[in-house]
Amino acid sequence: MRFQVWSLGGLLVLLGAAQASEFPNPIHYKGLCEASAATYIDNDHFVVASDETNILRLYTRNDKSEGVPLDFEHPSGFDKSDIEAAARDGEIVYWISSHSLNSSGEDKDKRKIFFATKVFAVDKPATLQWEGEFLRLRDAILGVIGDRKTELNIEGLATAPDGALLIGLRDTIDDKAVVIPFTNPAEVISHPERNAVLGEPSRLDLGGLGIRSVERVDDHYLIVAGPVSDEGRFALYRWLGGKSSPEELKAPAFGSLRPEALMLIPGSGMVQILSDDGSQTCDDEKTPLSQRAFRSTEIRLGN
């Protein structure tokens, strides 16, 4: 079925027929500029990571305040790891960094972290506690995509029905987006001395775009596709997984939004898209906390 998007009451509805328009005015959440990864940890609260700090922030939906800091600098041992994606599997939330080289072309451990947190909800609201980390995923990924000299840039992570994770790359290979099954994430968190087991990559035709975010929704995945570089268009795709072909949704143009995180809002039939609003005037390392903000828009999923 081909979905289209239209505006209704400030939300966006994916339905069968409508004229594409512009996204409604987004909500501005304070405390971070560079929203790069996010997930809900209960029906009302979500956690957001920036690619410029390992201090995550816990937000209440529709509360525009600065949120609550969650310090993962100390357990990880790194001040910033270029965290780019998150995926929740039950009470475990996995987070993954870009695994890219730094601006000087150096291969740094802090940019190669895959770590797990656990939802802890004895008191309200729920929060996250550290579970463990794994630092040997980069070489395994380069091995399965067939070129150890290829530059990596991970930006997508999603759960699969069989307990595996799907890793999405911002970079394309032969103009195709790349999704890699990661079959033993829980094992390498518990036993980091063991090797990651990766499956055969899928190559998806997203019109030459790479993956900026991916989220499993019922029996399919929603993909935010974007340019490999910093400039270019973004688009939404629906993918059934496996060898199926992804289908572009006729969504409005994102305009100035730079979508980097898409997440399902539990129990709502909606997804939320966050924009990475880092710029010369909004920087998570330099801008005062009270002046940092990122934008968020919500989409209702139609039948």
DSSP states of 150-202: SPP-EEEEEE-TTS-EEEEEEEEETTEEEEEEE--HHHHHH-TTSPP-B-PPE
- What are the percentages of helix, strand and coil residues in the chain, rounded to 5? 10, 45, 45
Tokens 């009270």 belong to 290
CA distance 23 to 300: 12
CA distance 230 to 156: 16
H/E stretch holding 260: strand 259-265
In DSSP notation, 48-98 reads: EEETTEEEEEEEETT--S--EEEE-HHHHT-S---EEEEEEETTEEEEEE-
> Residue type at 255?
G
pLDDT value of residue 177: 97
pLDDT value of residue 303: 56
The architecture of the domain spanning 4-301 is 5 Propeller (2.115)
CA distance 27 to 21: 18
Domain ranges of the chain: 4-301
Backbone angles phi, psi at 5, to 5 degrees: -125, 135
pLDDT tens series, the chain, 303 aa: 333 444 333 344 454 333 445 666 799 999 999 999 999 999 999 999 999 999 999 999 999 999 999 999 999 999 999 999 999 999 999 999 999 988 888 888 999 999 999 999 876 779 999 999 999 999 999 999 986 555 799 999 999 999 999 999 999 999 999 999 999 999 999 999 999 999 999 999 999 999 999 999 999 999 999 999 888 899 999 999 999 999 999 877 788 899 999 999 999 989 999 999 999 889 999 999 999 999 999 988 765
Please give the structure tokens belonging to residue 265: 């809002």
Burial label for 242, CB within 10 Å (0-12, 13-18, 19+), is exposed
CA distance 293 to 33: 5
> Rounded to two decimals, what is the model's pTM?
0.92
Rg of the chain taking only CA atoms, in angstroms: 18
CA distance 87 to 159: 6
∠ CA 290-291-297, nearest 5°, is 100
CA end-to-end distance (rounded Å), the chain: 9
pLDDT value of residue 101: 87
* Closest by Cα among 121, 59, 50, 7 to 265: 59
